[in-house]
Amino acid sequence: MQNLTLSLGILLIILGAASYLGTGQESPTALIPSFFGILFVLFGWLGKKESLRKHMMHAAAGLSLLGIFGTIGAVPGLIEVIGGGVVERPLATISRSAMFIMCVGFLIRAVQSFIVARKKA
């Protein structure tokens, strides 16, 4: 789970940097995925230590839930874009939707991992 957390963090850092550069470095809010990514990398790295693993993975799951709540509003815009429609800020819509999808996938995997760990205990 720690490696998945690190991977998600790196992907979010890249997403935020690409979004920021894609907006011509005009909107610092495009870096929000990178800030989340830095936290995921920190949690994944700290989770490598056995005594902190459980706490860090739960923190990462909570952070992914926060990411989901913060980005779910972009999903209707993504559906509009996929359907051939036009949205006001397509790059922001795609970036937020990508973060939403990544966070949902991570949270699903985290819950599955927690269930398996609970059954082993």
What confidence score (pLDDT) does residue 32 get? 94
Q: Give me the average pLDDT of each 10-residue run along the chain (121 residues).
A: 95 95 87 96 95 95 97 91 86 93 97 91 71
Rounded to whole angstroms, the Cα distance separating 94 from 30 reads 11
Residue numbers of the domain that contains 28: 2-120
Q: DSSP assignment of 23-77, as one string?
A: TTT--GGGGHHHHHHHHHHHHHHHTTSHHHHHHHHHHHHHHHHHHHHHHGGGHHH
User: Per the confidence metrics, is the pTM higher than 0.85?
Assistant: yes
- The single-letter code of the amino acid at 16 is G
Task: Please tell me the total count of domains within the chain.
Answer: 1
pLDDT, residue 85, reads 87
